Amino acid sequence: MNKTEWKKIIEDQIKFDHDYIPSFQTTIQILSEMLEERDRVYAMYMESGAQPVVNFTSDRGAINLKPNPLLRTWQEINTLCLSYLRDLGLTAAGLRKLQGQIPKEKPDNLNLNVLQELQSKYLPSMLRSEGVKPRLNLAPEDAPKAKTSKPITKTKTTKTAAKKTTTAGKRKTKTT
């Protein structure tokens, strides 16, 4: 999407959530440009094969793997966008800060439905044709599930192992 489409979506969401403040205009402009750049970087990442790591040849000729710079840039822009969204009151924490209180009623799913409708309408056809899922999927049933990990248990050291080594890993001599 281009920045004018993002700007319209952001302004509509602000007007829906709370009162529109004209001083938000500069922040909205910056955020819409960042979202446009984020979409451009994401499209480049997808065109390059969507590989999270790429080969890097050092000065000495060694081939190493390094994180894909496009993915890293996309993640940094996402982080910046989140802070701007918070400042505009488009996150729960940002809305509480703007209102100075916790909203008393539960939010309805209208916001969710509006955002999903706009996202599906404006999602670039290039990404849809490749079967890529949208980046900003707000549906709770599609949210990734947290992995549960086993609790870390401390292993018991044997008496002989404790005599042979210290915490630094150096050999301990036996004194008798």
| 166 lies in some domain | no
pLDDT of res. 105:
55
pLDDT of res. 127:
53
| 157 lies in some domain | no
| 160 lies in some domain | no
Neighbours of 98 (CB within 10 A): 18
pLDDT of res. 32:
94
| 79 lies in some domain | yes
| 105 lies in some domain | yes
Our count of domains for the chain comes to 1
| 75 lies in some domain | yes
Q: Distance between CA 136 and CA 138 in Å, rounded?
A: 6
**Mean pLDDT split into 10-residue runs, the chain, 176 residues:** 91 86 90 94 92 89 91 93 91 83 53 63 53 49 52 56 50 56
| 173 lies in some domain | no
| 148 lies in some domain | no
Q: What residues make up the domain containing 77?
A: 3-129+136-141
pLDDT of res. 152:
58
Per-residue DSSP letters for 39-50? HHHHHHHHHTT-
